[in-house]
Structures are given as C-alpha cells and as structure tokens.
Structure 1
Amino acid sequence: MLLFCGLSFSQTTITGSVVDDNNQPIPGANIIILGTSTGTVTDFDGNFTLTYDQDPPFSVQASSVGFESAQEQVISSNQFLTFILNEGTSLDEIVISASRTPESVRESPVTIERFDAKDIQFATTPDFYSSLENLKGVDVNKGSLTFNAVNTRGFATFANTRFVQLVDGMDNSLPGLNFALGNILGLSELDISSVEILPGASSALYGANAFNGILFMTSKDPFLHQGVSAYVKTGLTIQDEAGDNQFHDFGFRAAHAFSDKFAAKASFSYLRGTDWFASDNNQYTLGAVGTADAITPFRSGPAHDGLNIYGDEVALAANGTGQPQNLNEVAQFLEANGILPTGASALVPAVNVARTGYKESDLTDYKAESIKAYFTLNYRPFGNNTEVIWSSKIGKGSSIYQGSNRYAIKDFALQQHKLEFRGDNFFLRGYTTIENAGDSYDMRFTGINMNKVGASEWFGAYAAAYAQGAGQILGGGGNPGDPAAQSQLHAGARVFADANYTPQPGTPEFISLFNKVTNDPNISTGSKLVDESKMNVAEGNYNFKDLLNNVIDLQIGGQYRQYSLNSSGTVFTDYDGSIDYSEYGAYLQGIKKLMDDRLKITASIRYDKNEFFDGSYSPRLSLVYAAGENKQHNFRASLQTGFRNPDTQALFIGFDVGRAILVGAAPDNLDRRLPNTTLTGRDAYSNSYTLTSLQAFGASGGTTSLNPVNGTGITPLAEQEKVTAVDVGYRGKISFLTVDFNAYYNTYDNFSAQKFVVTPKTGSVTDASGVIDIATGNYKVFNVYTNSSADISSYGGVIGLSTKIAKEFDFGVNYTYAKLDFDQSTDPDFSAGFNTPEHKVKVSLGNPELFKNFGFNINGRWSDKYFWQAGIANAMISARTVVDAQINYSVPSMKSTFKIGGTNLGGKEYQSAVGSPYIGSQYFISWTINN
C-alpha cells in the first residue's frame, strides 16, 4: 500500500492547448515529454491532458505538420500550458523510414515523400490511397475502383513486385501473388498516422524487392490517439461504358488507454461500389518485342479476338491436330455426312472463324468491395520505454486485377497476425500472412471454357447457315463471293449459331455454365483461382546509441522469411503438395554527425540469402550537409546498391494465360509438368526457338532460319537482379520558396526478364522435326524467366516548389522526368516494361481556412504519353490531364468535418494501361466525426 501511494504521488498531470499564431486551435498536434516516448495528441479543439509518472521539472514539446515546434517547462502538477506554434515548412516533418530512426525530412539521406492525417483531411480524392498520386515522383496505376498500384522510378505493372508496401512493419504483399492489393486490404483512413514513400532502391535496410521504392503506412497509437471516430461517405462514379453508379463507404475507430500500461484499439471500414468497366474490343496481334502490337479495330473479321472479349479465342484455325481447320473444311465434313446438300461446301470460303465470345461485363458483376478490420492490444510492462503489441489485421475484398489476363478478384481474403516487442532502441517482431483467393477466377479462361462447350455444334451451325444464305444469294442471281455479301453472310451465320448454341447472359443456361466453369480449378475446363499461400516473418533491430553515449547511431538488424505456396496446381506447379522455401538477411548501419552537426554521414551494408541463389551484399553510403547560417540549405548525395530476389511466381509459376504458359525458373520447377501440355520447364528453356526468329520465319514464308534459344542467353534465372543507384539532392528554403530537388542514375545487372519462346510439342530444335512442328502449328508458346545481359539504365529527376500566395494560399508545383536507356538490338527478345511517362507535372492550390471553418484544395496532374509493355498487350497510352478538387467545412461544436469533392472534373476518361478500364469521374460527399 505504501508503494502504491508512492507511485500515485509521483504522477504529474498537465493540461493545455495548442493554437497557431492566429489563435486558431490546432487539432491532432503531438504533445511529448522530451527525452521519452510518453505523449498524447490534441483533440478537435486543440486541447490536451497528459499524465507522466515523474515529478517536475521536465520539458514538454508540441509539434504539428506545417508548424515549427515549441517547448514549455513543467514546474508543478496540474499546470496549464499554452503552446503557440508559428507556421513552418514541410522540411521540419519527422520521418523514420529513411534510416530506421527519427529524423527531420531535411536531414534524410534520401528523398522522401510524406502524407499524414492532416493531408487526408484535405485530400481531393474519396480514398487517401489515390491521393498519393499527387506526391512528387509518385505514380499510381489505376486498375479498378479499389485496386490502385503505387510505384516510383519506372518498371511499373499492376503487380509491381519491385515496390514494397509495409503496414506497421508488416509486408502487405500477398505471399503467393507477390504484390500488395493496393489498400483494399490495408488501413482505414481513420487509423492512418502517416504514410512515407522512399523512391528508389532501399535494399540496404529493407532487403529483397525494395528495388524501386518502399511505402510505409503507420497506424495510430492507442495510447496517443484515444476516443471514438467515424466517417460516412457516398457518391457517384460516372463512366461512358458503365453509366452512373453509387458507392458507399463508412468506417469507425475506437481506442482507449485503460491505464498507463494497457491500451487497445479497433478499426473497421467497409466500401462497396461498382467498378470501372473495361471494354477494349480491338484485337492486339503480338508485334516485335519492344514495339506496339498491331491493332485491328473491332470487328474486322470472323476470327476477331477482342482484348476485353473472352471466349472469342475459341476458333477454327491451323493447329496441326488433324481436326477441321477452317470453315470450308467444316462444310465439307457436314456435306460428306449428308447434313449439307451436295455442292453446298463450295459456297463456303476457307476462312478462320472464332466464336462470338462474351464481353467482360457479361462475366463479372463489377462489384468493388473492401472490408477491413484491425485490432491491437498494447501493453507497457515497464513504463513508457518498452511495449508489447499484439495486432491482427483482417481484410476481404472484391476487385479486378490485371496481369497477363484480367482476373475477377472475388471475396479475396488476407489476414496478418503480429507479436511485437519494442522499446526506444529496439524492436523484435514476428508475423504471419495468410491469403485465400476466395471465389476469384480468370475471366479470359471463363469465356474460353464456356465457349468450348458445344463448340463443334456451333461451328457446324455457322457453316450450315452460311451455305444456306450463300445459296439463296446465288439463286437470286447475286454473287456470294462479293465482299459485302460475305460480310452479310458471316453476320447472319453468327446470329443463327449464337441463337442456338451460345447461352445468353442472364439466362438459366448461361448462369449454370458460368457457375460450373468458375468453380472448376482445372484450367483446361475451368477458371477458378486457388491460392492459400502463407508467409512467416521474424525480424529485429537494435540501436546501440545509448550504450555508445550517442557518439554514433549504430544499428544492427536481421530478417527471416519462410514461404509456403499452395495453389493446388492452379497457379504454381504444386500439384503434389505445397512448395516451401526460405530466405534471410542481416544489416548494419552507422550514422555520425560532424562539423557542428552540419555534416551527417550514413553508411550501411546488408547481406541476404535466398536458398536458390548465392548470397548478395547491398552497401549504401550517404552524405547530408546543412549549409547556411541557420542550416537552412541541405545538400545530400548517396550511392547504394539494391538487389531483387526472384519472387514466388518467377520461381515456381506454371500458369496458362492463353497467349503463353508462364514458367518459373527455380531448379525444382524445371522438371515439373506444365498445364495443358506434356512439356516441362526444361523443354521450354532448352528445346525452344526465340520469338524474334519465329516472327521473321513467319514473315518470310518460312525461308529464314529459326534460332534455338541455346546460345542466345535465354536460360533459367541464375543471378539476382541488381541495381547501382546514385542519388543527389537539395532541400531548403530560398527566399519565399521551399525547394526539394533530387536526381538519380540507376544501372542494372542481371535484369530479371520475361521472354517468349516457342517450343515444338514433339520435335527437336536440333533437327528438321522442330521446324516441321513450327510450320504445322504443333507448338506451345512459353513465357520464361531469365536474366538479360543487356546494358540497361534509367535516370531522371524531380523538383518541387512550394510557397504561400497572399500569405493564405498554399501553392505547390512539381515536375518529374524519367527515362529508360536501353538498346533493344542488344537483346531483341527482352521486354523492358518501363511503363512510365517521361514527363509529369503536378500542381496544387489550397487554403485550409479560406474563411472561418471553411477550406478547399485543388490538385492538377498532367502526364505525357508513354509505352505500356505487359503480357496482356503492348500499346501507347495517351497523355492525360486530370483535375481533382474538394471543399470542406468544419463544425467544432459537433467535432465534425463535412467535405464535397470530385475527381477528373474535366470528365475526359483516361487509361493507365492497355487492357485496363478508362477511368471516368467520381463525386463524393463525406462526414467525418472526431478525427
């Protein structure tokens, strides 16, 4: 009892308020006891209460983004403190991702972008994740309403395996599919404390695949951010193809500190709407590598294969199987069996014909849905300096994902569970990630396998109807061979065949067949994706700075990952059970300040080992120098290397996407059977011809030679992909302008490349049998993973300027330049996939207090045209200009903020990638309480 009284007596409670230099309250300001991790944040009215288990005197600091921090001395309990914060700059913001230790943006050794709760409040998009596109140097590829892929510095895809996304230290990527599903399974906007983005190689601290950059999302601490908050949001999406559709979004967060030792929080959010429709009906014919595919407008002929039409791949064409190869041969067969009258086949041309196929909108309901829940229990057993955290993050969603095909992501689930111990100088965490593909399916193979059913009857009906119509034209004195007549005959034959043998969307026959195919994981008859892969991670970090009396900031850390791939043979070659493998890494970093703290030197090195490859070292050295009387001019330079372990797909995939079969390059994968064929990965890598030689062979009518892949460098991945990155930059304030500039130059070794090869089914590339297979269509196209020996580099720069206009309006403008340096002739079969505009300009204008409680914000973006290369198709993406805006009104008495906004206000629809939807406009209204 005496001990308890003593502890109670030693507690000091202080209250206070934080206002700006116009005496306006600053909600969400951070209040912290200097030299400790004890703190809180101000409420909606700028007020706070803080209890500290020590007697005065001690110092308290108040800080908020965009303001200079201030300190006050506490000399007695129950003291009331008033902090007046003067306006500052974004250079004073504190970040932790660049060096794994708190530092201001101006001191960061690399360029860094930051987005926090205040930015969310004034964001011009309905979801904060999309607003990241307004940050300089950041690209967001929009694949659907809920799935957007963040990237920096090129080589972008929707999967984006070169870019890492962390949520409270947990890798948010899917263990089997290797990419983060945007924010569909991430954090609620109510629980976001900050988002930090490091463009460029970050492997020295964060390991494999932090190659193009890394994104950190940090949630709010329940000790600091207590209470209940909520939001509700609704609006419209407007698109020419989809029309006008409503969406709804709501969420809440509750956090409470039950004592100074125990706190908990729970957050939940739910979004549902209608996704953007993809409706590109043009046909893309595989062009020369490095060039755009040949595009044939819809509908050019009876064998047209539309990009977003599925099932029209089922066609009569030369295939070396001995089956009827064109419409005339079908008619001859029907005539020989007495189904067509004698001589009817003579009226039917020898042309290829494809089934009609289904539009993408026929094969998905375009439901966009995201359900996210996050729970944490926080325990401080020894005061504020040590904390034990258990967290569980559970998400479920529906969206559209685009890779080599388009996939309907239905009820996809991801769960992560973490136990973490952390203190002022260390952390130790372990977590598991478990994914479940739910009812997801491949839309292309849904259409293909639906149209395989009744195919022979359909083609027979088509040929019969064509012959009958041709006979009627001939009997009437016309010429059925006239092009106009042929077009009419094909159209009539298609209508007749579809009416009798193609189940129409919405009918019971269609629904029954659709359900059968999408619940069948066998790719030859169905389209269901099965994926229940897992990933277990253990990692830790310790900072020795206190033991070294702050002479040097010295950190050591490490990580271990274990993958367990389980797709039941639908994605990977795991036909006979799960595939398990592991990788590990360790790093050392030192930070030293010299010359009156003007010069900051950071040096680090990391070693990583994947069980299929030799170990790899990633060193980094950076210098930051603060010039000027007040250290207001900050110059930095860094030299670092990064590496990229092949992802799970590059190692073990065995997946038929129609255009080709994807083949992983792990040693254990080469002798496994690949889907829809008797061939193995070893056949693809050792008994194949290059794609460029096949294209030349076809263009010459078979007079040029076919080149075997042996000797061309197309071999299974043998080395990790590596990058050497040089980065220089400046941050500072010049007169009234805040300036942030950086430039980089990256050179790549052993670039991980996917290349198409053509493999004879029965013949050999060492003799004429292989050529015969190619000439007769008896071959398979594979997409293999290999290292390119080409000289590949990229370079660019970003400059951002920000200032105040008329002392009230925040104005910013930035420009990004990005360029790939690669000579296609040095590796003709290599598809670089840079997929990034060369020029981008972004502009922002806003005022959080235009008049009392009323603010606004406007963002404008312009992107140059760029070339998109991917497995689905290659094409130029048009330049675009997009304007987003919002107005907001706060009601302090209700602790509420109301917002009305819209995206793409000009209404001109744009596309991020070939095959993806054209993005229309989105309008929204929201009500946020107590955040």
Structure 2
Amino acid sequence: MRMYLLFLSLFFCSITFAQNSISGSVVENDNQPIFGANIKIVGETAATVTDSDGKFTLVSSGKVPYVIEITSIGFISKRVSVTSNNQKVNVVLKEEQNLLNEIVVSASRTPERVLESPVTIERMGTAEIKKSASATFYDGLENLKEVQMNTSSLSFKSINTRGFATVANTRFMQLVDGMDNSSPLLNFVLGNLIGVSEIDVQSVELLPGASSALYGANAFNGILFMNSKSPFTSQGITAYAKFGQTSQKAAGSNDYVDYGIRMAHAFSPKLAAKANFTYMRGTDWYATNYDDKTNVGRDRSHANYDGINVYGDEVTTNIKGVGSSLAALGLIPASAVNLLPNSNVSRTGYNEINLTDNKASNTKIDFSIHYKPFANDVEVIWQSKFGFGNAVYQGANRYYLNNFFMQQHKLEIKGKNFFVRGYTTNEDGGQSYDMLFTGININRVWKDDKTWFGQYAGAYIGATLLGQTPENAEIAARATADAGRLIPGTAAFNAAFNKVTGEASVLSGSKLVDNSRIYHSDANYNFKDLVEFAEIQVGGSYRAYQLNSHGRIYTDKDGPINYNEYGAYTQLTKKFIDDRLKFTGSVRYDKAQNFDGNISPRVSLVYSGGESRRHNFRGSFQTGFRNPSTQDQYIGFNVGSALLLGSAPDNLTRFSEVRGNDIDGSGTISAFGQAVLGSNTVVLNGLNAYNNSYTATSVAQFSATGNAALLRKTNVDYVKPEQVKAFELGYRSFIRDVSIDVNGYYNIYNDFIGNLNVVAPYYGTTQDAPNATPNPADPGFQTLAALQGGDYRVYQLYTNTSVEIKSLGFGLGLSKKVYRDFEVGVNYNYAEFKFDQEKDPSFEAGFNTPKHRVKASFGNEKLFKNFGFNVSGRWNSEYLWQSTMVDGVIAAATVVDAQINYEIPKLKSTLKFGASNIGGKEYGQVLGAGLIGQQYFASWTINP
C-alpha cells in the first residue's frame, strides 16, 4: 500500500525550481503552422508541444545557454541555441522525404539508419500508426512487407514471417521494451494481450529473418520489437476512445469498444513516471466450419461425422463391436450382431457457438518509474505490466482463454553504451477451458458412452428388423440414443456446462489450469567509447522456466517442472573504404538444460554506393537454431483423439495413464485383448509411444486395405534442436523520390521439429510388416488384433525429420509521393518451400504461407486543411494449411481497409473514421477459426 501511495504522490505532487521561459513558433516551408511539434532541451527533461497556431512556450529550470531540439513527424529535426532568457525562437522545418534515413536499433543492437541495416527490417512509427486504416496498430502490422497474420480470434492475432507457423508460432519472438511477451506455458506470443497501448508506442521494428545470433534460439524466423514512449520526453495526458461494430454473417452486427489513457510526467530532470490503461471489448468471429475434419464432403448425415467446429463427436466406436459386447451380455441375440454395419459411429456433438459466449476482450494496465541518478544518461527503470481478457486460441483443439491473466515486472539499468535488465513473467489460466472436452463431457453428464452406443445399436437393429434402409435405421438409432440430450440454452445444459468447465480432469471436465512463470535476465555492453578500431559489443542472457499446470497440460502433477537455458554473444562492426563498406560479424553460444550447446554465427556486408550514398547493397549469412520448446519436451496433454507427448527422457516415464474399462472413455478392451493382458485395463507410458508403436500413416493404409505388410514400426529419436542456414541479399535506395527496398532469402533447415502421429497397441510387439497368420501367441499378430479390435492409443510425438527442408522468398517494396502530398506504396512477396514428402510421408512441415502476397496503400495526410485519409489493400493466393487440429486449403482473399481523419487543433484532438474489409467478403486465415467479416469504427484521440 505504501508503494502505491508513493506512486500516486509522484503523479500529483511537484517540485518547485527557479524557472525561465522561451517562446516562439514552428512552421513549414510555406509558412503553415505545425501543430504538435515537440520542443525539448537537449540533455534535459523540459519539453512542450506547439499549439494549433504552431506557437509554443517552454518553461525550464535550466540555466542558459542551452540547446533545444524541434521535431515533428514527417519533418527533418532541427536544433537551435538559446543564449538568453525569454528568447524568441522561430523555426522553419523542412519536410523529410527519405524515410529510409530513419534510425533503427534492433538489427545490430546499436542505432543505425534503415539504409545501413545488415538485414531486412520493417518499421512502423507514430506517423504510420496515425495513418493506419486498421482498428488497432497491431492489426496494422499486417500491412508490413513479409507479414502474414494468423487470426485465431478478434483479440488474438499471431504474426507469421517466412513461414512454418500456426497460431502457436514458437519460431517468432516479440519484445516489448526488451521483455519477451511469450507465454511461459505455451512458449509463444499471445498477440498484443500484454503488449503496448497504441498511444504509448514510440516505434515498432520487425526483423523477418533468423536473428538467433543476437537474440537467441527463439528468434528463429523473426522478431518484433515494440518500444514505448519515455515519460521524460513524452509528457502529459493522452486519451482515445473508439466505438464501432463488427459484422459477420454468422454473428450479425455487434458493438465494438476500445479506449485508453496515458499519463506521463517528469517531476524533475531525474525523476519521471507514466501509467497506461486500455480496454477493448467486442464479439468474436463465430467459428462455424462444419466440414468433416478428415473426410471432404462428409456431413452430419454420416454416422461417423466429426465436424471441425463441432465438439463431442470425437467420441467414436465400432458399432459392430458394441453389438458383440451386448450379445456377450445376453442383451441381444448373437444373430442380431450381423445386422450392424462393421463401421464406426460417433456421438452427436455440440457446435462451438454453443460452447462459448463468443466474447473477446482485453484489458492492459502498465506503469513505470524512471530515475536518472547522475548527470549522465544512466537511467533506472521499474516497469510493471498486466494483461487479461478473453480470446480463442487454436492448437490441437480450440481453447477459450477465459479471464486469462498475465503479468510482467522488470528492473532495468541502462546507459549510453549498456543495459542490464531482469524481469519475470507470470500467468494464470483463469477459467479457460478446452472446447473439445467441454462437448465430450457435457454429453457424458446426461448419458455415458457405453449406454449411448448400446441404445444406438439396439435401435439400429430394431429399425432394420422393421425393414428400414441403413440410412433410415441410422436416423432412428441416433434419435433413440439422443433422447434426453441436453439442449443449449436450457438450465440443464448451463448447469452441465458450468460443471464441466469448472473441473480440470479430462475424465469429467475441461478446465485448463496454469500458474507457470519465467525468470529472465540479460545484459549488453558496447565498447565503442573505449575501443577505436571497431565497434564491439558483448552480451548474454539467462532464463529459468517454472512449469506449473498441476498435471493438466504438462506432466507436473507432482510439482512444477524447472528448466533453464543461457547464452552469450559478441559482435564486431567495422567500416572501410571511406565508411562506405560496413562489416558486421557476430557469434552467439546458447546452452539449454537438456541439450548440448549451439553456436550461431552471422556475417554481413553493407555497401553504400553513389555520390549521396543512397544505393545500399547488403548481404548476410547466418546459422541459427531453435531449441525444442518446453511443450516439445514436457507436455502430456490429452486432446481426445490423441495424447500430445513431449520427448524429454524423464517425461516419458513420468507420464502414464490407465486405458480400458471406460475409465477415461477409451472403451472396454476386446475379449482377445483381455485374454492377452489378463485384465480389462492396461497402463501405458511414454515408452510405449516411442518404442512400441506404428506410424499413423501406415495404420491408416492397413485399415483401408487389410494388408499387414504396409505397417511400419515407429522409429524416431527424441526431439533435438533444429538448425537453419540463412542467406539473404538486399538493396535499399531512394531514387527520384521513390523509396525502393528489395530482398531475397534462401533458408536450409535441418532436423526440423514437427509432430508425428503414432498408434501404440495395448499389447504385442510392433514390427515392420508383421505376420498376419492368425496366432494368438505371436507378439506381431497380437498387434494386428489390437488394431482391429480398437485396443490402441494414438499419440502425437514431438520429433525431427531427417529430410532437409528448404524455403526461399523474394520481396519488393516501393513508395513515392506523387501529386502534391499524395503517397503511394506497394509491396510484393513471393514465398515457397521444398520438402520431399515421399521420404517422410508422416511428417507435416506446416508452411502455412501464401506463395503470392500483394499489398498497397494510397493516402494523403494533408488532403486539405486538417483532413487526411488512407486506403490500404492486400491480396494473397490460396495456400495449404497444416496443423495438429485440421488440414485444408485457405482460399485466396482480397481485403481493403480505409480511414479518414480530421484534426481539431484547438482541442488538440484527432477524429478518425475507419473500416476494415470494406468489400464485405468474409475470409479466413486459420482453418478452424471464424471467418473474418467487416469492422467499422470511429475514434477520438486527445493529445497533450
């Protein structure tokens, strides 16, 4: 409580100093006033902005002489010396045409012009955020070159750069003020859940390629940096409010609200603080894809239907086997068993829209205290961030993150040439749940599986004896078995729903439990002021995971799993040939707890040609690697149709489950199996999955043909790090007011991490092409009987493919100011990958990226007095979507967004009216997620 009172007092108390002031005006070349230009004293915190007439007054406690700096978006900054109190300063700013002169830090961990970046980099600043026609600045990242969004939910978008990404993009990293935004449990970024408010964004930098040499194993296919504004230089109160609607055929039209406030103040040249609050609420895109997951063209009329957005119909069994069990119990005549089809039947499931309230929301709160203890640039920062809300995450199933909560706390000391920081990330799953098990267990609340299938079989036989066709018999059997089924919206259904989503065990519930955390520290020092011949940097990091899902997701039912990794790097930058040629070389060593250390080198050259050095050619090569995530190693997650199993050696023996006798809905073991086992249950662990299983692909072939010679024993190693060799060439320039950015890349992946489905029989010994001659004592034949009798468990393993994967791509970006202040931009990306599927038929690469993407924008921020507008459009070709949940094709899409804005200088305000997907044609980015409709909004932003 004392800390909070201190924090409040910092905001509402002030310190009095002897003060002086200067005043003046800031205008453009044509003498038009510039509203909102920033004026600050260099080396101090005193700052102000111009009013609607371009005028300003700057009050300072500093003594003359000093230098002030005047900056404004789209103009070249200017410095002016102040030699006397009450001096009048009138400044003319020239418009900045060359956006490629912008300064970026992320590519080399040191400030450099975009033109001189050794690798491809995309940037979004406050000017681009202001022009964006998207509902949020994070949505607007989709218009950057190389970015492909994977939208799982209105409030959950995942960035994909250079392919190989689902919603769970573990190959991409996102840093906010130096803190990794990844979920400690899930190992990937949850969009902007705990990111940054758009009114607090200073800049966004995107590196779309491998960045392991400087940022470690997780920056394998790209990294995003979001940097917030400093309270020393950006002071005052800023607020915004958005109101609009989302429109979708399935969901109709629904309200959308988004508002936030930022407060920042420098209490003295040494002390400043800021706080942010944002809140967003809307209705999610309804997911209504009722195609069968694995059988194209199959619909609900099929007895073994398994819809993509239908849950509960994953419970399936061979109906003839059920008849045999009923006959064995004397419940039906043995002769009646032959009336049943020898095929599977699934229970009737519930649509996704009935298993979630379809609400999306996100609340973000953060505050920071900044202290400069000395006269130099050393700054101490304490920052706390909190994010919570509702969203849908799609992995092996669809999961509703309900009141999901995540927090980060950082202490950082940074100076001109160094930083040292440490932070922790904690999360709480709240009332999150798995939709698949919600559907399965609501069904079981009112009728267990054995009873349902027994009633189905009995009714089918009865209808057949009355002369019904198989189709009509199926309809009658399902109606009989579904008698008493809980109807969505009724009190009984709601009670069952609350019961199931409140229990964590998959035997009766669907709740997801998570209290995992990360402890991370890193440091960097630049020797540029100590070493003259080159710029040398050194740095390192350490991370410790504490996985704690209480046994629900990981194999941690007996206590948290602890895991750590660390790394160190160095980089040398040297310029030659009159500073036209820049060499950058870096190398990083990383070591994870369960794996040998890896070394990641990178070398790059940038040459600046031409008299004005505007022709910049770059080339780079680096090797990168990615350690298996904690999920790859320690997961033990039942997703119904399979069990996801991590391959850390201690994980395989720590995991175990009992199968059979309906203990977990797996069904009674067959009579043959009980004779072999001497029991109607069996205990399996991870060793069964890796050492005594068949590949799922060969089992499918065996089931279709009955040919045992097609069966193949699983023969894979435990998961290990994957590697990439990344080659990149590029060219940047600014020719006759045309900004040009061209790049091409070629990546070679080895030991690529992926998933492999395997089938482990309850008994017998698996072998390639087992002997099909009936022999109950033959361990190979026993496995055939197990497969035919349904006595098996499906596992999804994490492993590596031995087949080399290659990807390549090309990008071109052009922008130019045309007539007056109209600006046109266009970019194109080509991407593809090569993988010999025949050499590893069970492996899915999951490239999930269109081969062709085109994006364009057209706008004018000075259309006429105080008015501006922007229109952006994007198109992508169709592409194959592969994931652990469902595979299929994502259709080509064309999307156009537009906005107009109006500034009210006297109120220091900006009004914006915008619309996303104004064409109205709904499109998808994730197979299984809701189609994306239209979004309209009006916003009002008040600047200090």
Question: Is the structural similarity TM-score above 0.5?
Answer: yes
Structure 1 position 67, deviation (Å): 3.1
Match of 1:172 in 2: 181
Aligned runs of 1:811-830 on 2, under 5 Å? 811-830=824-843
Does the 8 A contact of 1:431 with 1:536 survive in 2? yes
Structure 1 position 37, deviation (Å): 7.7
637, 655, 659: which one aligns with 2:641: 659
Does the 8 A contact of 2:126 with 2:203 survive in 1? yes
Distance 2:797 2:33 in 1: 60
- Secondary structure of the residue that 1:631 maps to in structure 2? coil
Aligned runs of 1:650-689 on 2, under 5 Å? 650-675=632-657, 677=659, 678-689=683-694
Note closer, same or farther for the CA distance 1:349–1:626 as it changes in structure 2 (3 Å cut): closer
Match of 2:310 in 1: 309
Does the 8 A contact of 1:19 with 1:85 survive in 2? no
Match of 2:49 in 1: 42
Distance 1:614 1:28 in 2: 54
Q: Bigger shift: 156-165 or 47-56?
A: 47-56
Distance 1:43 1:229 in 2: 15
Does the 8 A contact of 2:48 with 2:58 survive in 1? no
Structure 1 position 535, deviation (Å): 0.3
Q: Does 1:754 align with 2:755?
A: yes
Match of 2:853 in 1: 840
577, 594, 604: which one aligns with 2:576: 594
Match of 1:515 in 2: 498
Note closer, same or farther for the CA distance 1:330–1:539 as it changes in structure 2 (3 Å cut): same
Q: Does 1:559 align with 2:568?
A: no
Does the 8 A contact of 1:570 with 1:655 survive in 2? yes
Match of 1:546 in 2: 529
Does the 8 A contact of 2:45 with 2:266 survive in 1? no
Q: Does 1:480 align with 2:480?
A: no
Return the letter of the residue paired with 1:42: V
Structure 1 position 659, deviation (Å): 2.6
Distance 1:460 1:18 in 2: 83
Distance 1:818 1:37 in 2: 48
Q: TM-score, normalised by structure 2?
A: 0.90
Distance 1:38 1:591 in 2: 32
Distance 1:877 1:104 in 2: 38
Distance 1:784 1:343 in 2: 42
Does the 8 A contact of 2:759 with 2:792 survive in 1? yes
- Secondary structure of the residue that 1:204 maps to in structure 2? helix
Match of 1:73 in 2: 81
Distance 2:39 2:625 in 1: 40
Structure 1 position 376, deviation (Å): 0.4
Distance 1:837 1:39 in 2: 49
Aligned runs of 1:380-529 on 2, under 5 Å? 380-453=372-445, 454-455=447-448, 456-463=450-457, 465-466=459-460, 474=466, 479-481=467-469, 486-498=470-482, 500-529=483-512
Q: Does 1:701 align with 2:727?
A: no
Q: Which runs of 5+ in 1 are unaligned?
A: 1-6, 286-293, 319-323
Note closer, same or farther for the CA distance 1:637–1:25 as it changes in structure 2 (3 Å cut): farther
Per-residue deviation, residues 466-509 of structure 1 (Å, max 9, x unmatched): 566556xx4xxxx422xxxx4344334434543x3311112222
Return the letter of the residue paired with 2:811: V
Return the letter of the residue paired with 1:888: N
Distance 2:644 2:427 in 1: 22
Match of 1:123 in 2: 132
Distance 1:438 1:238 in 2: 29
Q: Bigger shift: 38-47 or 537-546?
A: 38-47
Match of 2:562 in 1: 580
Per-residue deviation, residues 433-463 of structure 1 (Å, max 9, x unmatched): 0011110010011111222331344345445
Match of 2:719 in 1: 717
Distance 1:774 1:458 in 2: 23
Return the letter of the residue paired with 1:753: G
Aligned runs of 1:5-44 on 2, under 5 Å? 14-26=22-34, 29=37, 36=43, 40=47, 42-43=49-50
Distance 1:47 1:552 in 2: 44
Match of 1:742 in 2: 743
Does the 8 A contact of 1:633 with 1:730 survive in 2? yes
- Secondary structure of the residue that 2:115 maps to in structure 1? helix
Distance 1:66 1:392 in 2: 32
Distance 1:52 1:546 in 2: 31
Q: Does 1:904 align with 2:917?
A: yes
Distance 1:854 1:332 in 2: 80
Match of 2:776 in 1: none
Q: Bigger shift: 84-93 or 767-776?
A: 767-776
Q: Bigger shift: 15-24 or 269-278?
A: 15-24
Does the 8 A contact of 1:532 with 1:567 survive in 2? yes
Q: Bigger shift: 386-395 or 347-356?
A: 347-356
Structure 1 position 15, deviation (Å): 4.7
Structure 1 position 858, deviation (Å): 0.5
Note closer, same or farther for the CA distance 1:406–1:109 as it changes in structure 2 (3 Å cut): same
Distance 1:918 1:506 in 2: 24
Q: Does 1:796 align with 2:796?
A: no
- Secondary structure of the residue that 2:132 maps to in structure 1? coil
Q: Does 1:624 align with 2:606?
A: yes
Does the 8 A contact of 1:162 with 1:644 survive in 2? yes
Structure 1 position 273, deviation (Å): 1.0
Does the 8 A contact of 2:368 with 2:382 survive in 1? yes
Return the letter of the residue paired with 1:646: P
Does the 8 A contact of 1:30 with 1:42 survive in 2? yes
271, 282, 285: which one aligns with 2:280: 271
616, 636, 647: which one aligns with 2:618: 636
- Secondary structure of the residue that 2:360 maps to in structure 1? strand
Match of 1:288 in 2: none
Does the 8 A contact of 2:521 with 2:543 survive in 1? yes
Distance 2:70 2:631 in 1: 48
Distance 1:343 1:642 in 2: 65
Return the letter of the residue paired with 1:716: Y
Note closer, same or farther for the CA distance 1:121–1:901 as it changes in structure 2 (3 Å cut): same
Equivalent pairs: percent with the same residue? 52
Per-residue deviation, residues 615-637 of structure 1 (Å, max 9, x unmatched): 11111111111111111111111
Match of 1:325 in 2: 321
Distance 2:444 2:711 in 1: 32
Return the letter of the residue paired with 1:76: S
Match of 1:291 in 2: none
93, 105, 108: which one aligns with 2:114: 105
Aligned runs of 1:77-88 on 2, under 5 Å? 77-81=85-89, 82-88=91-97
Aligned runs of 1:339-354 on 2, under 5 Å? 352-354=344-346
Match of 2:267 in 1: 258
Distance 2:787 2:338 in 1: 30
Does the 8 A contact of 2:657 with 2:685 survive in 1? no
- Secondary structure of the residue that 2:605 maps to in structure 1? strand
Return the letter of the residue paired with 2:321: Q
Note closer, same or farther for the CA distance 1:797–1:28 as it changes in structure 2 (3 Å cut): farther
Note closer, same or farther for the CA distance 1:809–1:606 as it changes in structure 2 (3 Å cut): same
Aligned runs of 1:203-242 on 2, under 5 Å? 203-242=212-251
- Secondary structure of the residue that 1:624 maps to in structure 2? strand
- Secondary structure of the residue that 2:388 maps to in structure 1? strand
Note closer, same or farther for the CA distance 1:76–1:640 as it changes in structure 2 (3 Å cut): farther
Q: TM-score, normalised by structure 1?
A: 0.91
Match of 1:4 in 2: none
- Secondary structure of the residue that 1:325 maps to in structure 2? helix
Return the letter of the residue paired with 2:563: Y
Per-residue deviation, residues 161-206 of structure 1 (Å, max 9, x unmatched): 0000001000000111111110122111111111111110011111
Per-residue deviation, residues 400-444 of structure 1 (Å, max 9, x unmatched): 000010001100000000111111111111110001111001001
Distance 2:576 2:71 in 1: 27
Distance 2:826 2:142 in 1: 13
Q: Does 1:284 align with 2:293?
A: yes
Structure 1 position 21, deviation (Å): 2.8
Does the 8 A contact of 1:65 with 1:90 survive in 2? no
Aligned residues: 890
Return the letter of the residue paired with 1:800: G
141, 154, 157: which one aligns with 1:148: 157
Q: Bigger shift: 367-376 or 347-356?
A: 347-356
- Secondary structure of the residue that 1:283 maps to in structure 2? coil
Match of 2:676 in 1: none
